[in-house]
Amino acid sequence: MLLINCPYCGERPELEFVHGGQAHIARPGSPAECSDQQWADYLYRRDNIKGVHAERWRHTHGCGRFFNALRDTTSDQFLATYKIGEQPPVPAQAQPRKATA
Amino acid sequence: MSPTLRTPSGGRINRARTVRFTFDGRELRGFEGDTLASALLANGVHLVGRSFKYHRPRGVLTAGPEEPNALVAIRRDAVRVTPNLRATEVELYEGLTAHSQNRWPSLKLDVGAVNGLLSPFIPAGFYYKTFMWPRRAWKRLYEPRIRAAAGLGRAPEHPDPDSYSNRFAHCDVLVVGGGPAGLAAAHAAAESGARVILCDEQPQLGGSLLCEQDPGAALEDGAWLARTIAGLMAHPRVTVLTRTTAFGYFPHNLLGLEQRLTDHLAQPDPAQPRERQWQVRAREVVLATGAIERPLVFPGNDRPGIMLAGAARSYLNRYGVLAGRRAVLVTVSDEAYRCALDLHRAGTPVAAIIDVRPQVAGELPEAARRAGLPVHTGTTVVGTAGRLRVKSIRIRKLDAHGEPRGAVERIACDLVLMSGGHTPSAHLFSQSRGKLHWNEALQAFLPGESPERARCAGACRGIFSAAAARRDGENAGTLAARDAGLVVGAVIGEPALGPAHGAAASGELPQPAGRPVSKAFVDWQNDVTSRDLLLAAREGFRSIEHIKRYTTTGMATDQGKTSNLNALAIVARQIGKPIPEVGLTTFRMPYTPVTFGGFAGYSRGELFDPVRTTPIHDWAAGKGAVFEDVGLWKRARYFPRPGESMHAAVTRECQAVRAHCGLFDGSTLGKIEVVGKDAVTFMNRLYINGWTSLAVGRCRYGILLRDDGFIYDDGVVARIAEDRFHVTTTTGGAARVLAMMEDYLQTEWPDLSVWLTSTTEQWAVIAVQGPSARQVLEGLVQDVDLSAAALPHMSVAPGRICGVPMRLFRVSFTGELGFEINVPADFGQAVWEAVYEAGRPHGITPYGTEAMHVLRAEKGYIIVGQDTDGTVTPDDAGLAWAVGARKPDFVGKRALERPAMHSPQRKQLVGLLTAEPHVVLEEGAQVVLDARAAPPTRPIGHVTSSYYSATLGRSIALALVRGGRARMGQTLYVPTPRGNLAVQVTSPIFYDPKGSRQNA
Amino acid sequence: MQRFSGLSLIRRGLNGQRGWQPQWRRAEPKPDYDAIIVGGGGHGLGAAFYLAKEHGITRVAVLEKGWIGGGNTGRNTTIIRSNYLFDESAALYDHSVQLWESLSQVLNYNVMFSQRGVMMLAHTVHDVQVSQRHVHANRANGVDNEWLTSEEARAHCPLLKVDDIRYPVLGAAFQRRGGTARHDAVAWAFARAADALGVDIIENCEVLGIRRDAGGAVSGVDTTRGTIRAPRIGVSAAGHSSVIMRMAGVDLPIESYPLQALVSEPVKPIFPCVVMSNTIHAYISQSDKGEMVIGAGTDAYTSYTQRGGLHISRHALEAICELFPMFRRLRMLRSWGGIVDVTPDRSPIIAKTPVPGLYVNCGWGTGGFKATPGAAHLLAWTIAHDAPHPINAPFTIERFRDGNLIDEAAAAAVAH
């Protein structure tokens, strides 16, 4: 169970949140002008990145707000969370720590 | 009890309290503070189990959670039987009843031991190579036998009456392990102001110090242990959890701890949970998980009476038990000499110390020599003897090249103690996804870097001496407090380590060339021998994961705690690769087996999932309603009168609605209040319908799609004010519709001024349906004109009923004149009862979901999720009329333009009438074109709803059929076990197609 | 290929089980092949086997990043069944079950396919409707599936608690031909048989890039062990389908989620079949080693870590203990995680791709193991013919563009 830093409420356990899939996929402004392929891309194509990716979470059992997060899908460590409408911050890579330090 | 096997004094047992117990029916005695294993050894019982494959007689190998052999079933009473418990962990209590496992007819005489004779023919993985012919014999003959041979204990057969609890906790520093490092870490962290949780799997704190005759000497500080433990127990910021195993390390510093609360008690309070599972979120974690002694691999190393040197030392110093009368030690490190000296002091003759190393100096070996103990350096073990207990050991001198060349010498003994050095317990560290690094000197993997906020201290990172571990723990605890954000004092730094702070070996002891005479075990429980590992390597398995899976080494209930490194070393040597290149199997939770009940916790019955009930639930229950589960809700399905069948009740309820008046609890319907100046824009963008033209006070049947074009939900939507909609959803869809609305509102259209509020629980919904509905309500409703002109079908009005504020909907899901009274939930039952009383002269009848389904099906109204299945478009469902034609966009619109959405072969909703009017089709039955169609065939549709309609005097069905609307009047067929039934395709509206009744 | 039999075990047993050859060679990569399979799981190894056996294409390399069978092949709960709802799915999975039924004999390797039956519980009126629709659809398709009342379900699996639980069992769909198999053995068996036909199985060989010629067609792969050329490349790399396919510029409608499973300590045989409940999210069977094998759900978020959250495994055991309250006293021995590639309609893709010479087999979600021989067989066919077999023809990438989804998940959706 992840520990997620809601930008509005602070750190809360994953149980309070619902994952909202990849972030920054905007619904096309004029769907009628989309080709079938473009519409299918909007609906279904996902980057599915192995590494740092941007995703949406909703603090459903809290403030109810959607927000975005940068998470490394190879370690599940969050690099940042930020509000809807904000640009993703430049990620500072989490440094592994020596077990003995 | 044989008194000679207990030391006259000493140990941490309470000699004043004798405890009686039985093992395989034999009555024995031990002392308070014993484990089952120590008490058995005190009684001279070494034979405690049989191995998995060859049914070899086995004794106690260890004194801790790594035990592979001494597995027993503990029977508390007829329903509290727990298999596969380790005797080394089972605390003795008065009346404890233990049984050995995997043997028949008895532990001493086990027929399964014949497998040992067959062993040349059943090597590792033999089952992959045979049992294939004849093919039919697999299911009937081979497989049942293989299965019967497998398994260890017997699963409990009765529901477990015990309860289990769970708890969440947070702390600054979680310390795992209560040995010298852990104690010091917890103490240092707490003194720095940290909130600390300290857990240890043992009943007492102390860890390895519990096995010392004089912990003070080991620590070089006589009073430290008692002082530190007392300080921690009394510390207001410290929670000490004993009998608590940290079993799992999960992302973001969440650890799972399993606390055993009652298994050690003779008479547990039945109200007390048996175990408690903790989920601890720690800012910082200190792992002080110690180390496990490594056995040695030599022929015949598995006989009862052969155990780890540290275990024997533990039995002696902690439990006052002499594990044997004449001991031989086999070692590759100095540590074992400590054991030899302790045994010698306790009066057990030490027949020999066999040290594989050519030269041995150092403090401990010198002390052993001074004590006159015979030390054989440069010597290996080539075999042992003894059927149910080891009787002797055979040794050979090694030459300068490490080859056994000398004459075989036999030494009589009844106890063989081995030590291959120690393996740091990096399990939890590895679970945290911490990297492990190979240390050649220690022949072990040591913790490196962790992505989590974790650090290791003491033996689990290779610092074995108690005094150094204590210092290491103090340093780690201080740093953990600092990293948790606390202000700490001076940091003492890591302890200085001598050049040779440990020694170890891995792999098999040197053996003469040629075929070995007997098996050298690597994995005791699964009977994996060095030969099996070599076979796997010969057959081309190179990755340690392959070796493990092919031979099953390390996959037994001890999960390789004593075997993994030896297996790795044997394979590495065979294929000529360094150990780190062969790989290390990943450690995964749990560290030791954890009771399922602990994971399930309180979750059972009504606590498995919350039960949602409506305000009218108790009334319905009082009337004998039968309920069905819909999502979390309990909904009244029908209201049988005494002796009445479901069919009869539903028929009666339906007829009452059609003829008079019915009363239905619609409170479970999802309700969302959509408010704001942009509410109508929001609704226009979301639902397929047009909302701009909907007047205040009017309702419309709304349909919601996903953006893939398929029906997601439906429900009546009322316009309460220009800027306010009362949206209803399906019962199951309430939460997900609100989530979808929030998603679009917050992330796609944040410019819209709209607020969404779930009001599902705020409104009780009482549906009054039937020709008499208006008369029933007339006397109760205030401030609303109920006439058809003032309140036509599909309208809504605010008002009061019985003095209670309400929203009165004129809507119908039955096809009759109908009202849905929405009142605040707290008044729900009172209003319901008032309506019921007022309706009695009119024959008002409560009806349930089953009658509701029949009534709506007669009208061809769909149920989302029953007549649709996530692949149905509005047009498929015959709802294309609902689409707001002039809208440029709505959720799902673009997807409806895809090619497949226009295929004439799409499944469309139609009615089906059976040729035989009294035959009711099964829901889910398939529809085929051909009267003679037989499997395998490709159906063209399926029945979605099917009922007997008492009103129509015949069965009716709704179905999704390919190109269905073009098939009106056609005869199709529904296969059944009794043949293909003819059905006629009709309109899905079977009753009152003009709708005159609902508009009445 | 050395023949495996009881006799061979006895003969070699007299000689200390010496003389067994490696089950597959430790092949060094050659500069070029006729076809390359990326991914040495059961699906990929099987595809190589069928390419060699049925299509005569033996110059084939299987490239595996780690050790064969180490991905989802070795990380599942080994359940095999074909009682899927839609005609297309039932045909696909039943093709696989039919291959399973003779796989041990065909490969001369006992994969321990145990047709102990798969029971899928219905807990609500809606479940009953959905289950019965499955039963009817399957029977029409010629796939065995039958409806059991709750009493019949309990008679077959006496430990099952059907009453006095939060969601009482109202009945079950039961496929007798379904069951389990030994997962590791499937990978090894295909590897051994493919190797014997000349296929090179190359472990510790990670694909770093896919090469394309001037015309856009594939021409080979760059790996940690050098460049290997081939005109046809089949990708069968569950858990990393998106990563590999992106190397060729192909975007997939796939997301990768952690899926967990766990086993209990081994106990004597007590559990006769596979029991699954989609409503309360649990599935359980007993392995031939005696362990109760339990599947948990996926986590909510995408991840490549091969591990999941504690709350996910807790929930699986809550459900198991609710259905089988005697198992509360059993203990979890081991757990593990895999990465499942999930498509929007929960059905797989076995298809040609927009890149000539590139074929993909992916998107099996939580259900790939059961499809192992079938998917392998169809992928091989598709590669050999440069065209899909009729069974996998509907399972294209383009179906998402055109709206021809095969939505097994939606069809089981709970509503009303």
Q: Provide the H-helix boundaries in chain A.
A: 36-44
**CB neighbourhood size of B943 (10 A):** 26
Q: Do B251 and A32 touch (CB under 8 A)?
A: no
Residue B872 in tokens:
């149905």
Report the length, in residues, of chain B: 1000
| Per-residue three-class SS string for B608-645 | CCCCECCCCHHHHHHCCCEEEEECCEEEEEECCCCCCC
What's the rounded mean pLDDT across residues A42-70? 97
Tally C-beta pairs within 8 A across A and C.
Answer: 61
Q: What gap in Å lies between CA B456 and CA B459, rounded to an integer?
A: 9
pLDDT of C413:
55
A72 contact C CB<8A: no
Domains held by chain A: number: 1
Q: Domain range spanning residue A44?
A: 3-94
Under an 8 A CB cutoff, do C302 and A73 touch?
yes
Provide the CATH number for the domain formed by B164-291+424-483 in this structure: 3.50.50.60
Query: DSSP string covering C277-336, please?
Result: ETTTTEEEEE-TTSPEEEEEEE-SS--SSS---HHHHHHHHHHHHHH-GGGGGSEEEEEE
What values do phi and psi take at B838, rounded to 5?
-65, -30
Q: How far is Cα B373 from Cα B553, in angstroms, rounded to an integer?
A: 36
Positive or negative: CA dihedral B633, B638, B641, B643: negative
Interface of A with B (CB under 8 A): 1-3, 13, 18, 20, 26-28, 30-32, 34, 36, 39, 42-43, 56, 58, 60, 64-66, 75-77, 84-85, 94, 96-101
Per-residue confidence (pLDDT) for residue B502, from 0 to 100: 65
Mean pLDDT across chain C? 96
Fold of B296-419: FAD/NAD(P)-binding domain (3.50.50)
B250 with A1: Cβ contact below 8 A:
yes
Q: What are C363-416's pLDDT values in tens digits?
A: 999 999 999 999 999 999 999 999 999 999 999 999 999 999 999 887 665 444
Minimal C-alpha gap between C89 and chain B (Å) = 12
Nearest to B597 among C24, C189, C328 (CB): C328
> C303 vs A73: CB contact, 8 Å cut-off?
yes
Mutate to test the interface with C, among A44, A74, A77 (most CBs of C within 10 A): A44
Residues of B in contact with C161 (CB under 8 A): 159
Q: Do B447 and A99 touch (CB under 8 A)?
A: yes
- Residue B196 to residue B288: CA distance in whole angstroms: 14
Dihedral over Cα of C138, C144, C147, C153: its sign: negative
Considering only CB atoms, which chain C residues are within 8 Å of A73? Answer: 256, 302-305
Q: How far apart are CA B174 and CA B950, in angstroms?
A: 68
Torsion of CA B746, B752, B758, B760, to 10 degrees: -130
**Minimal C-alpha gap between A84 and chain B (Å):** 7
Q: Do A45 and C255 touch (CB under 8 A)?
A: no
User: E strands, B815-906, where?
Assistant: 818-824, 845-846
Residues of B in contact with A97 (CB under 8 A): 449-451, 453-455
Q: Residue type for C215, please?
A: G
Determine contact, residues B458/B447, Cβ cutoff 8 Å. Answer: no
Quote the CA–CA distance of C366 and B819 in Å, as a whole number: 46
Domain range list for chain B: 3-121, 164-291+424-483, 296-419, 504-577, 609-668+762-871, 669-759+874-896, 903-1000
Per the CB < 8 Å rule, is B130 touching C166? no
Q: Which residues pair with B942 in a beta bridge?
A: B926, B960
Same fold, B164-291+424-483 and B296-419: yes
For residue B171, the cross-strand partners are: B282
Pick the residue from chain C with its C-alpha nearest to B79.
C326
pTM (2 d.p.): 0.96
The minimum CA-CA distance between A101 and chain C, rounded to whole Å, is 25
β-partners of residue B240 are B198
- Reduced 3-state DSSP string for C329-367: HCEEEEEEEEEEEECCCCCCEEEECCCCCEEEEECCCCC
Question: Do A44 and C300 count as a contact with CB atoms less than 8 A apart?
Answer: no
**Dihedral over Cα of B400, B402, B405, B410: its sign:** positive
How far B939 CA lies from chain A's nearest CA (Å)? 29
**B22: burial class by Cβ within 10 Å (0-12, 13-18, 19+)?**
middle
* Band (A99; pLDDT cuts 50, 70, 90): low
In the block, which residue shows the tokens 């092919």? B550
Q: Do C331 and B251 touch (CB under 8 A)?
A: no
Is position A101 within any domain?
no
Q: Is C199 on the interface with A (CB under 8 A)?
A: no
In the three-class reduction of DSSP (H, G, I as helix; E, B as strand; rest coil), residue B797 is classed as strand
Q: Is the peptide bond before B451 cis (omega within 30 degrees of 0)?
A: no
Residue of B nearest to A64 (CA): B742
Contact B624, B639 (CB under 8 A): yes
| B905/B925 Cα distance (integer angstroms) | 19
Spatial contact of B798 and B809, defined as CB atoms under 8 Å apart: no
**CB-CB under 8 Å, C289 with B604:** no
The secondary structure of B16-53 as a DSSP string is EEEEEEEETTEEEEEEET-BHHHHHHHTT----EE-SS
- For residue A18, tell me if it sits in a domain: yes
The neighbouring-strand residues paired with B715 are B702
SS3 C87: helix
Taking the Cβ of residue C315 and every Cβ of chain A, the question of whether any pair is shorter than 8 Å is answered with no
Q: How far is CA B379 from the centre of its chain?
A: 49
Answer whether residue A84 is part of any domain: yes
Euclidean distance between CA atoms C326 and B213, whole angstroms = 43
Q: At B311, is the secondary structure helix, strand, or coil? A: helix
Does the residue A99 lie in any domain?
Answer: no
Give, for B854, the enclosing helix (H) or strand (E): helix B849-858
| For chain A, the helix, strand and coil percentages under 3-state DSSP, each to the nearest 5 | 15, 35, 50
The chain C residue lying nearest B581, using CA atoms, is: C204
CATH superfamily of the B504-577 domain: BFD-like [2Fe-2S]-binding domain (1.10.10.1100)
Q: If we measure between CA atoms, which residue out of C377, C387, C380 comes closest to residue C96?
A: C377
The pLDDT score that the predictor gives to residue B214 is: 92
- Identity of the residue in C253, C301, C310 whose CB atom sits nearest the CB atom of A45: C253
Q: What is the mean pLDDT of residues C109-129?
A: 97
Largest Cα–Cα separation, chain A: 59
Contact A20 B893 (CB under 8 A): no
CA distance C3 to chain B (A): 8
- Residue C347: which pLDDT band, with cuts at 50, 70 and 90? very high
Structure ipTM over 0.85, yes or no = yes
List the structure tokens of B157: 């057969």
Q: Which CATH number fits domain B669-759+874-896: 3.40.50.1010, 3.30.70.1400, 3.30.300.30, 3.40.50.720?
A: 3.30.70.1400
* CATH code of the region B3-121: 3.10.20.440
Mean pLDDT value of segment A78-93:
86
Q: Give chain B positions within 8 Å (CB) of C203.
A: 542-543
The CATH number of the domain covering residues in B903-1000: 2.40.30.110
Check CB contact under 8 Å for A44 and C400.
yes
- What the block records as the tokens of C184 is 């590791």
Axis crossing angle, helix B466-483 with helix B180-191, rounded to the nearest 10: 30
Please give the helix or strand (H or E) that residue B470 lies within, else none.
helix B466-483
CATH of the domain at A58: 3.30.2270.10
Chunked into runs of 10 residues, chain B (1000 residues) has average pLDDT values of 78 96 97 98 96 95 97 95 97 98 91 90 94 90 91 92 97 98 98 98 97 92 95 98 98 98 96 97 98 96 97 98 97 94 96 95 94 96 96 96 93 97 96 93 91 96 94 97 94 74 80 84 96 95 94 95 94 93 87 98 95 98 97 97 97 98 98 98 98 98 97 98 98 96 97 98 98 97 96 98 97 97 98 98 98 98 95 97 93 95 95 97 97 94 97 98 98 94 98 95
Pick from B864, B846, B876: nearest CA to B730: B864
DSSP string, B703-734: EEE-TTSSEEEEEEEEEEETTEEEEEE-TTTH
Q: Distances in Å between the alpha carbon of B666 and those of B162, B374, B637, B730, B849?
A: 39, 88, 12, 10, 9
Pick the CATH number of B609-668+762-871 from 3.30.450.20, 3.30.1360.120, 3.40.640.10, 3.40.50.300: 3.30.1360.120
Helices C87-107 and C183-196, packing angle to 10 deg: 70
